[in-house]
Amino acid sequence: MKYDILLIGGNGFVGRVLAAQLQAEGYSVLLPTRHLAAARELRMLPKIHLEDADVHEFDSLQALCARIKPGGAVINLVGVLHDKPAVPYGKIFQAAHVDLPKNIITAMQMNGLTRYLHMSALGADSHGPSMYQRSKGDGEAAVKVSNLDWTIFRPSVIFGAQDQFINLFAKLTKLFPVMPLANSGAQFQPVSVDDVAAAFTKSLTMPSTIHQSYDLVGPTVYTMKEIVEFSAHKANTHCAIIPVPAFVGYLQALAFEFLPVPILMSRDNIASMQLPNILPLDRIDALSKVFGMSRRTLEGMK
């Protein structure tokens, strides 16, 4: 069977919302994952076919592209947040953000596919202050020099019912009545996962989006302190937030990296906060101006 869409990284937070939206629009979707057991809710969607496959293996990736209809599209949502320090970035960032897009491009070319939607990140820059930003920037560069009909999306922090940002701070405010917070003034412009998924879906029928890069942001800019305060309110708890110097945050992140638990905050995350994660002055609000959407607010989050 041939499918309309190959959704890579579709078993994650954004991917599950996007898969549901694509099905609602009538698309058939091939969704590879190495974690079938964690994709139970996707099994309920009749036009979503889950495939046990490793997209980091080129032969597997090429075989997946061969099962997409002529004129179909490939969507890449893959992104990782942490890696070991290296210059310009580590092997994990290299594999996920640079090598994978390059392999997707090659596999698509081998199968005559041209439409490609790529998830990048606001602040992606090959010369950025963090490994994450540099690797995302290099991934974008590889996409832009390809001969594909690409569209790149660069969202700020993405929020939603199952996000790992607001919900993380909500859990922490329940555990700790006092929270030392470095980079408390760092700025973000959180965007709804539903709005991000809708931009991807709409672009499939908008030829004007080909060879365009879009920053996706919500309607409001928040500081890190305001986001933690919002998270505490959402969790119906009280947490005293104490701003601390940047070097304290660096030491906290260093400690987190060596704990035998999932990393809450890394030194690379701290480096990313050196630049505001908000819509640049010279860029347009794509969600409203290009896609005609009324952006959801963080306060309206369910």
Express each pLDDT in 180-214 by its tens digit. 888 889 999 999 999 999 999 999 999 999 999 99
Mean pLDDT score, 102-130: 97
Tell me the pLDDT band of 243, cut-offs 50, 70 and 90.
confident
In a domain, 263, yes or no: no
Task: List Cα–Cα distances, 218 to 137, 193, 258, 294, in angstroms.
Answer: 22, 10, 34, 10
Look at residue 107 and tell me whether its pLDDT is greater than 80: yes
Look at residue 302 and tell me whether its pLDDT is greater than 70: no
* pLDDT for the residue 40: 76
- Which residue range is the domain that position 20 belongs to? 3-158+191-217+279-296
Question: Average model confidence (pLDDT) for the chain?
Answer: 92
User: What sign results for the dihedral spanned by CA atoms 215, 220, 221, 222?
Assistant: negative
Residues with Cβ < 8 Å from 208, sequence gap 6 or more?
A: none
User: What sign results for the dihedral spanned by CA atoms 22, 23, 28, 30?
Assistant: positive
* pLDDT for the residue 191: 97
Look at residue 261 and tell me whether its pLDDT is greater than 70: no
Express each pLDDT in 24-80 by its tens digit. 999 999 999 988 877 778 878 889 999 999 999 999 999 999 999 999 999 999 999
Look at residue 119 and tell me whether its pLDDT is greater than 90: yes
Q: What is the 3-state secondary structure (H, E, C) of the chain?
A: CCEEEEEECCCCHHHHHHHHHHHHCCCCEEEEECCHHHHHHHHHCCCEEEEECCCCCHHHHHHHHCCEEEEEEEEECCCCCCCCCCCCCCHHHHHHHHHHHHHHHHHHHHCCCCEEEEECCCCCCCCCCCHHHHHHHHHHHHHHCCCCEEEEEEECCEECCCCCCHHHHHHHHHHCCEEEECCCCCEECCEEHHHHHHHHHHHCCCHHHCCEEEEECCCCCEEHHHHHHHHHHHCCCCCEEEECCHHHHHHHHHHHHHCCCCCCCCHHHHHHCCCCECCCCCCCCHHHHCCCCCCCCHHHCC
Tell me the pLDDT band of 1, cut-offs 50, 70 and 90.
confident
What CATH number is associated with residue 210?
Answer: 3.40.50.720
Tell me how many domains the chain contains: 1
In a domain, 101, yes or no: yes
In a domain, 111, yes or no: yes
8 Å CB contact between 124 and 136: yes
In a domain, 166, yes or no: no
* pTM score: 0.93
In a domain, 53, yes or no: yes
In a domain, 38, yes or no: yes
Look at residue 245 and tell me whether its pLDDT is greater than 90: no
8 Å CB contact between 184 and 225: yes
Highest-confidence segment of 103-107, 237-241, 267-271? 103-107
Express each pLDDT in 277-291 by its tens digit. 999 998 999 999 999
